[in-house]
Amino acid sequence: MSNISKAFENGKAFVAFITCGDPDLETTVKAVKAAADNGADLVELGIPFSDPTAEGPVIQGANLRALKGGVTTDKIFDMVKELRKEVTIPLVFMTYANVVFSYGAERFMTNCKEAQIDGIILPDLPFEEKEEFDGICDKYGVDLISLIAPTSAGRIAMIAKEAKGFIYLVSSLGVTGTRSEITTDLSSIVKVIRENTDVPCAIGFGISTPEQAAKMSSISDGAIVGSAIIKILEKHGKDAPKYIGEYVNSMKKAM
């Protein structure tokens, strides 16, 4: 059984997203610890990329700040190894196929195993092309996490049947970012997912308020929050971890 399943054992899972190296890796470590200490069940660690096509302006900004600050994939692996001395909750990477490809997939997954990374999300990797990374992820015990979007339609069952770790259900069309309301008929998508797999599904994209987190987790197995946390990092910089802890606590309580 995947280590990621632990995130969903104690009721609804709160998944926090943090871009590595924004504003620096020292702050990333403190932010992840603050999230974990305040109820985050799983943390997605964003590996910065120069062209993050799934991201809205908030997370794009975080990517650029991190890259300008000199963060590299090797430095991120070193940081995760340090984190793992204290943080035991599941950790997954969120990045783009080109990052893994240019680093060398075998080398990347070897390092994931050494750093105890439990899964990876590649939003630009179509389901039909996942074989390029699927075998090597399996070899090193890293779950290749599938995304299901409102446009997946007839492919939902097919994707769900082969899902590993958890399913990232995209709440709405477009890029990441906070939304005032989420109007997609997610319940019907979750119904198809449940008919085809026991792998848990969490909803992300656009969730920022406790009310939204409560609503999305009532439909699914958890809520994923990224842009709202990155806004705290953007506003408070190195002082952000304290505020991230408070925010995560309020979101988890609402769920």
Amino acid code (one letter) for 92: V
What ranges make up the beta strands (E) of the chain? Answer: 13-19, 42-46, 91-94, 119-121, 143-145, 147-148, 167-170, 201-204, 222-225
The answer as to whether 190 is a domain residue is no
Please check whether residue 215 lies inside any domain of the structure.
yes
Is 51 within the bounds of a domain?
yes
Q: How many domains does the chain have?
A: 1
The residue type at 18: I
Interatomic CA distance for residues 36 and 242, integer angstroms: 12
List the structure tokens of 188.
């019907």
pTM attached to this predicted model: 0.94
One DSSP character per residue, 158-175 reads: HHHHT--S-EEEE-SSSS
Contact 108, 133 (CB under 8 A): no
Domain residues for 60?
Answer: 12-142+203-254
In a domain, 198, yes or no: no
Residue 183 domain flag: no
- Domain-embedded: residue 222: yes
CATH number, domain of 55, equals 3.20.20.70
User: pLDDT by residue (tens digit) across 1-37?
Assistant: 689 999 999 899 999 999 999 999 999 999 999 999 9
Structure confidence by residue, pLDDT tens digits, 161-197: 999 999 999 987 655 444 445 446 899 999 999 999 9
